[in-house]
Amino acid sequence: MQNRQNALTAPGGDTVVMMRIAECLQQRGIHVRVDVDRVEKLTDYDIVHLHNFATPEDTESLARRCVEAGVPYIVTTMYEDKPLFFNQMVEQANAFFRYIEAGQPQERFEEFMVPVKSISPAPCFDNTWTANHAAALVASGMREQETLERDYPGCPFVTTYRLGSDIVNTTTKSSGVRKLTGNRDFVLCVGRLEARKNQLMLLKALEDTDIPIVFATSGFTYQPQYAQACQLFKRRQGQTIFLQALPPEDLNALFAEARVHALPSWYELPGIVSQEAAKLDANIVVTDYGTPRDYLGDEAFYCAPDDPESVRNSVVDAFNSPLRPGLASKVSDCTWENAATRVYEIYQTILGHG
């Protein structure tokens, strides 16, 4: 398995996916080597499993090594529909910075957002060579598969699997979490503070409500200006709490205590934290950009990431609604063991054993 060279030193979602699949395959007696340093002799392996279409030049260099060695490769793509959201995301973050610097004049909010509506779309990532020479591209759901097939029609085989998550269903509550939050009923948002996760829009959407928001961050951000803007954002009534890196048991308890988990991101594939929250009995508000709907179906509350009214309506509806009874069952099959089973089936197909 290969990925960007800093996948282990600066881990992200792609790191989690790679490592959990590797662990589950190894538990089945399959020899798997995670090689981000690119030191392994490729011809010692039956197949190379690449990750990440968000780093096209780096991934292509790995793919070319596979072709030169005569070893088939597949790619877990984690491919975002960049023209749909990327430039809009960047411009909206800048607009929020100006809005906050001006003192959050609500009557002028739409004026600040005008450039977002008129900006030209970003070009898509160019992974053409990698896609055309891959034995398979593996997507996290049908929305991603359709985007791959649209942008890379030369790939011979595009398929899907369902990502897993580590939290099992439990009703455990934690009084320790209440000491952190001071509340039992709150909206939780788990993720690094960054433009893609769109926390400023969540704050704007709930600017005038008294619903508490708890942000569980990793304590690290690639976008310190964005993180600072989130902390500077003033809400009229509601409490806003920022928590830094938490041990797994505390994060687990946060999911269990939250009434709603909200992730109004610009794009998710599919948002593993939404799975985790669903398994721990929170209503889910999530973007409709990406593959969340492939996992959560009609049981989640969906929102548009560029529309504060859409986000507000979804969060308030979710907050005031009873838990949707079919939500946890929608993702009950989303385990890393099941994901690894599907990946192994793809390997077998590529190698002619399936």
Q: How far apart are CA 239 and CA 244, in angstroms?
A: 17
Q: Do domains 13-81+124-164+335-350 and 175-330 have the same CATH topology?
A: yes
How many beta carbons lie within 10 A of that of residue 325, not counting itself? 8
CA 254 centroid distance within chain: 18
Q: What is the pLDDT of residue 325?
A: 85
Whether the per-residue pLDDT at 167 is higher than 90: the answer is: no
Q: Is the model's pLDDT at 206 over the cut of 90?
A: yes
User: Which residues, including other chains, have CB under 8 Å from residue 293's CB and lie 6 or more apart?
Assistant: 141, 143, 300, 302
Higher pLDDT, 249 or 3: 3
> 212: exposed, middle or buried (C-beta count within 10 Å: 0-12, 13-18, 19+)?
buried
Domain at 175-330: CATH code:
3.40.50.2000
Q: State CA 175 to chain mean position distance.
A: 29
DSSP state of 153: T
- What three-state secondary structure class fits 178? helix
Q: Which of 49-58, 248-257, 276-285 is predicted least confidently?
A: 248-257
Q: Give the mean pLDDT of the chain.
A: 93
Is residue 78 within 8 Å of 51, Cβ to Cβ?
yes
pLDDT average, residue stretch 140-156: 96
CA distances to 240, 313, 351 from 354, rounded to whole Å, are 52, 47, 8
Percent of the chain as helix, strand, coil, to the nearest 5: 45, 10, 40
- At 252 the pLDDT is 85
Q: What is the mean pLDDT of residues 132-141?
A: 97
Given a cut of 70, is residue 178 above it in pLDDT? no
Sheet of strand 283-287, all strands in order from the earlier edge strand to the far edge: 240-243, 213-216, 187-190, 260-263, 283-287, 301-303
Of the ranges 114-118, 245-249, 325-329, which is most confident? 114-118
Q: Tens of pLDDT along 319-334?
A: 999 998 889 999 999 9
> Is 90 exceeded by the pLDDT of residue 253?
no
Confidence (pLDDT) at 64: 98
Q: What is the mean pLDDT of residues 208-220?
A: 92
> How many residues does this entry show for the chain?
354
pLDDT tens per residue, range 66-93 = 999 999 999 999 999 999 999 999 999 9
> Under DSSP, is residue 353 helix (H, G, I), strand (E, B) or coil?
coil
In the predicted structure, residue 168 carries a pLDDT above the cut 60: no
Least confident window among 103-107, 149-153, 166-170, 310-314: 166-170
State the pLDDT confidence band at 179, using cuts at 50, 70 and 90.
low
The Cα-based distances of 52 to 1, 138, 143, 213, 302 in angstroms read 11, 10, 17, 32, 26
Give the pLDDT band of residue 184 (cuts 50, 70, 90).
Answer: low
pTM above 0.75, yes or no: yes
Domain boundaries of the chain, sorted by first residue: 13-81+124-164+335-350, 83-118, 175-330
**Contact residues for 15 (Cβ-Cβ < 8 A; gap 6+):** 3, 7, 8
Taking a C-beta distance cutoff of 8 angstroms, is the pair 79, 53 a contact? yes
What's the pLDDT band for 169 if we cut at 50, 70, 90? very low
Q: Report how far residue 345's alpha carbon sits from residue 136's, in angstroms, rounded to the nearest whole number.
A: 12
Tokens representing 158?
A: 């595009």
Residues of the chain above pLDDT 70, percent = 95
Side chain identity at 13, as an amino acid letter? G
29 φψ region: left (φ > 0), alpha (ψ -120 to 50), beta (else): left
Fold assignment, 13-81+124-164+335-350: Rossmann fold (3.40.50)
Task: Please tell me whether the peptide bond between 270 and the residue prior to it is cis, using omega within 30 degrees of 0.
Answer: yes
Query: Taking Cα atoms as reference points, which of 35, 252, 295, 279 lies closest to residue 144?
Result: 295
Q: What separation in angstroms does the CA of 22 have from each of 32, 331, 340?
A: 6, 21, 8
- For residues 209-217, average pLDDT: 95
**Model confidence over 2-22: pLDDT tens digits?**
999 999 988 888 999 999 999
